[in-house]
Amino acid sequence: MAEEPTVNDAQVDESVQAMLDSLKLSKKKSKKSKKKKEIKDSPLLEQGEAEELKANKRSITDAGEFGFSYQHLLDRMYAELRANNPDLVNKKRAVLRPPEVMRLGTSKILFANFDAICQGMRRDPDHVMRFFLAELGTTGSIDGSKRFIMKGKFTPKNISSILVKYIGEYVTCSMCKQVETKLVRDANSRMAFLQCQSCGASRAVAPIQKGYHATGRGERRAARYAGNA
């Protein structure tokens, strides 16, 4: 029979000691890695990184590529804008008084502040009157006191809605929404154009079309007499 190899006590002690040493080293390494992870994930480090990012942002804001801060460049731009284009910076809001409408007899109404509203819009009263008559389908005229008299029983709400429609079509600029405009008629094409004094935009406006007009009893009688004659 073959002889079994013999193991000395010294060899056993050396192998056991080596195993123990390897276990100790692995434990130390795991503790060190754990400590590194804790340090990496610590809130103090995150706070430090956040402060560093804020400092970098401040440096970018305080001084640009040529040594000028963002706020300095912004103030300079607004100063140039105010100096060269004051109307674009200081926009004035146009305010019109509401229409003053009252009954005149039993079948007419009186638009008392019609001339003041036309002056506020800078439009010809005759043009505004024709628009109202076409939209309401009635007749009317301007008296000696520049008040607008219309035939019919219309409420102030009806007059206000038509006034808003007129402002949207013949006063307000479609580009910048300003009311600093004027109506210009082209002599060649006979078309009316709305030119904006603020942004320079221009657009064609539709001519005033005659709306529906209900024929009254007197008009039917006059037409019948004219046909018989």
CATH number of the domain residue 196 falls in? 3.30.30.170
Q: Which domain holds residue 162?
A: 101-216
Query: 192-196 and 202-205: which strand pairing?
Result: antiparallel
Give residue 198's pLDDT. 81
Structural domain contains residue 51: no
Structural domain contains residue 77: no
Query: What phi and psi, each to the nearest 5 degrees, are found at residue 149?
Result: -110, 125
Structural domain contains residue 88: no
Give residue 1's pLDDT. 46
Structural domain contains residue 92: no
The total number of structural domains that make up the chain: 1
- What's the rounded Cα separation, in Å, for the pair 83 and 89? 10
Mean pLDDT in runs of 10 for the chain (229 residues)? 49 61 55 49 54 58 62 85 68 77 91 93 92 91 92 91 93 88 87 88 86 64 75
In order of 20, 42, 45, 149, 156, the CA distances from 30 in angstroms are 16, 18, 22, 98, 87
Structural domain contains residue 169: yes
Structural domain contains residue 120: yes
Structural domain contains residue 228: no
Structural domain contains residue 229: no
9-16 long-range Cβ contacts below 8 angstroms, 24+ apart: none
Three-state DSSP class for residue 46: helix
Give residue 229's pLDDT. 62
List all residues 6 or more positions away from 14 whose beta carbon is below 8 Å from its beta carbon: none
